[in-house]
Amino acid sequence: MWKKTLPALFILSPFAFATPATMPPTESTTADVELQPLALKQQWLNEQQTLLLQRENFLQLENLINTAIKQKMVSEPLIKLASQLISEEYPLQEETQWLLLRAKLAMVTPENLATRVQEIQTFSKQYPNTAKRNKLAQLPISLYAEHQKREELLQYAGNTPAEGLKNQCLVFESKYQQFNAEHTESFKYEQKKLLQEFDLFWQNTHTTLPPECDSLTQEWLKQGFLNVEKIKNKAVIHFQHNQTLADIPSSDENVQQWLTELEFLRTNANSLQTFAENQALDPWNQAIITKAFTSFVKSQPEEINQDHWAIYQTWAEKFQLSADDIRQWKIAFLSRAFDNDNVAFQQWRDAQLAELKADNLLERRLRMAIWQKTDLKPWLALLSQEAQNKQEWQYWIAKTSPEKATRLTKLSQERGFYPMLAANALGKPYQFDFPKAPMLNENQLIAFRSQLARVAELRALQRFDRAKLAWQDLLQSVSFTEKLALTHYAQQQNWFDLSVEGTIIAKAWDYIDLRLPNAYSEWFDLNLKNKKINKSFAMAIARQESAWNFQAKSHANALGLMQMLPTTAKQTAKNNGLPFSGEQDLLQPFRNIMLGTTHLAELNEKYPNNRILIAAAYNAGSHRVERWLARANGKLAMDEFIASIPFFETRGYVQNVLAYDYYYQMLQGLQPLQMFTKAEQQRY
């Protein structure tokens, strides 16, 4: 820690120990200079000791308040005691003040309510990001309602409009109770206006209203505002947002039956045929049929063909769908039936693709043409200009063009996987220049010192999610150049995940050295000894998998830097005599790298020196790679095999990993740079 932190003191305090440049060194000044490192070290030690004490006090304060809130034992003496633990020099001032505010909000009374609202507003002004995330501006509405401060609630809502159904209902309810308390003609008129306003609110919300609206809803029903048209409009909105229709009131038996059938369709997409055949044409059924078709067609087997479309066409005609709606239906239908191997269907499909000119379907057809080794030109010509401008299709346009060399040369001057592939096709080295990020200057270091100290302290407390939020807040408030300089600073601090996050926020795609930090370099070296896996490749996998967030968790429960599934990690450990105690191991960078690189080595045994197949297997599983190889049957070149990987995620994954590998080779100063191995350039 000393080696890392001492230079930072020189950066943060450049003038504290400076000697005028015009003064010749004397014996006295030379001795002073020699003493400076010792003074700096002592200063650093003192600062660390102070920080540790402040941290302990913060943790005590946090535990005290959280326990009191949980046990509903917050009191003024407790808040006073907690306040004495606060140091104004501690980096987590925002977190400290948020804790105190939460404690105060746990003991709101009618007598102190106005004070609490003022405290909310003061905190929100000082810490707007935390206030926004916790929707503090909306809290006074519920507090006023809880303490039956109707006039104050309406006055507050007049300046801060209610958001969310609950608060909107509280405002409606307060207005209703206010009018209900009066019996003059003017108030009756205002009450009617309120019910009309509520009527529009009810019709346009796409979910069930909360209990706070119950009394006004009953009055609205009593006054006869509800009718069949409004019920059906409401039902369509609920259906379009996939919200239950069970709570929509109706006393009409026919309408209730329609609602029941609609709710069944919402939860059973494959019942659309019954609904379409039994329902009459009206605007509501037209909207329902239009919306439901995409989910319906996804529920059908992939073997559906043009005969099925003929049935769907009759539905479209019955319900008088627009030409654009029919087009969207046909795109959804073709997406589902695309791979049907019936020859007649394929001919019909291709004719429809040429007519529809939908880029997503044309790109899929192009991949099919690539692995089938058929002519690409007709399909490339049908792509929109936007799609044609993608690097991938620029590559394939070049390969099918009489001006192949010229087009490939132009493409090879860009950054990315396909420019690298273009250079490889030309038999030339792939080179591109990338800009260097600026460093924080002395004034910026001073200006951002408190925010950076906050991020550092949150990370020291292992509050990584909070640190990321603080980092995002900081970067979103500064200029592009400052974003780059701060991202460079993060990399210097070994905040590798925040470095990557910084480039994403800044959209600094050309700053390769910031996007690809040299993270955990020594641990990769150690774990790759005696393994036939290059460091640049292993790091590229980790960068693609987690963006260097060692706490990353996927929806499939892949964990850590190299996003290993616990089952894969357990088997890898067992096969190679390595320790594995469970999921928590994968959230430790060293353990994750150990198991991830070992798994890569296992895949290398299966696919020697072929990062394309290794990366594809790491992402999608070896069983799928074997299936794709069987389909290719030794007929595809390297670029054709990659382009024809059917999974969008895996295809992009392989391309990114190979590009990142090359970038890491550049950044690590490796020579000669290798785009593709001999094994990778074989037939597939």
Report pLDDT digits (tens) over 520-554. Answer: 999 999 999 999 999 999 999 999 999 999 999 99
Write down all domains in the chain, each with its CATH number in brackets.
Answer: 442-509 (1.10.1240.20), 521-667 (1.10.530.10)
**Rounded Cα distance, 306 and 309, in Å:** 5
**Rounded Cα distance, 388 and 370, in Å:** 16
Phi and psi, residue 458, nearest 5°? -60, -40
Q: What is the pLDDT of residue 38?
A: 84
pLDDT, tens digit, for every residue of 301-348? 999 999 999 999 999 999 999 999 999 999 999 999 999 999 999 999
Q: What angle is formed at CA 600 by the lines to CA 594 and CA 602, rounded to 5 degrees?
A: 105
C-alpha separations of 53 from 47, 56, 60, 90 in Å? 10, 5, 11, 10
Q: What is the pLDDT of residue 35?
A: 62
Q: What is the pLDDT of residue 184?
A: 61
Among 585, 591, 603, 588, residue whose Cα is nearest residue 654: 603
pLDDT, tens digit, for every residue of 468-518? 999 999 999 999 999 999 999 999 999 999 999 999 999 999 999 999 999
**Rounded Cα distance, 536 and 604, in Å:** 15
Q: Which residues, at least 6 apart from 596, have a Cβ–Cβ distance to it below 8 Å? A: 538, 541, 542, 560, 561, 562, 564
Q: What angle is formed at CA 455 by the lines to CA 450 and CA 457, rounded to 5 degrees?
A: 90
Count of other CB atoms within 10 angstroms of residue 623: 8
Residues of the chain with pLDDT under 70: 1-35, 181-185
C-alpha separations of 381 from 334, 338, 363, 389, 645 in Å? 20, 20, 11, 12, 22
**Rounded Cα distance, 348 and 305, in Å:** 9
Residue burial 273-295, b: 16+ Cβ < 10 Å; e: rest: eebbeebeeeebbbbbbbbbbbb
**Rounded Cα distance, 8 and 178, in Å:** 62
Contact 247, 257 (CB under 8 A): no
Contact 325, 290 (CB under 8 A): yes
C-alpha separations of 530 from 428, 568, 590 in Å? 31, 21, 17
Q: What is the pLDDT of residue 25?
A: 40
Phi and psi, residue 553, nearest 5°? -135, 130
Strand partners of residue 564: 559
**Rounded Cα distance, 417 and 659, in Å:** 5
Kindly report whether the peptide bond that precedes residue 438 is cis, defined as omega within 30 degrees of 0.
no
Among 172, 166, 165, residue whose Cα is nearest residue 215: 172
Burial of 5 (0-12, 13-18, 19+ CB in 10 A): middle
Contact 533, 483 (CB under 8 A): no
**Rounded Cα distance, 559 and 549, in Å:** 10
**Rounded Cα distance, 101 and 107, in Å:** 10
Q: What is the pLDDT of residue 640?
A: 98
- The amino acid sitting at 413 is Q
CA 245 to chain centre: 31
**Rounded Cα distance, 22 and 680, in Å:** 62
* Cα separation of the two ends of the chain: 50
H or E stretch at 227: none
**Rounded Cα distance, 577 and 582, in Å:** 15
Length of the chain: 684
Q: Which two tokens stand for residue 461?
A: 């407390």
Q: Is 609 left (phi over 0), alpha (psi -120 to 50) or beta?
A: left
Q: Please state, rounded to an integer, the average pLDDT across all residues of the chain.
A: 94
Q: What is the pLDDT of residue 487?
A: 99
Q: Which two tokens stand for residue 309?
A: 């479309």
Catalytic residues: 545
Phi and psi, residue 243, nearest 5°? -110, 145
**Rounded Cα distance, 352 and 359, in Å:** 13
Q: What is the pLDDT of residue 166?
A: 98
C-alpha separations of 454 from 90, 120, 502, 565 in Å? 9, 22, 16, 33
H or E stretch at 339: none
**Rounded Cα distance, 275 and 4, in Å:** 69
Contact 628, 645 (CB under 8 A): yes
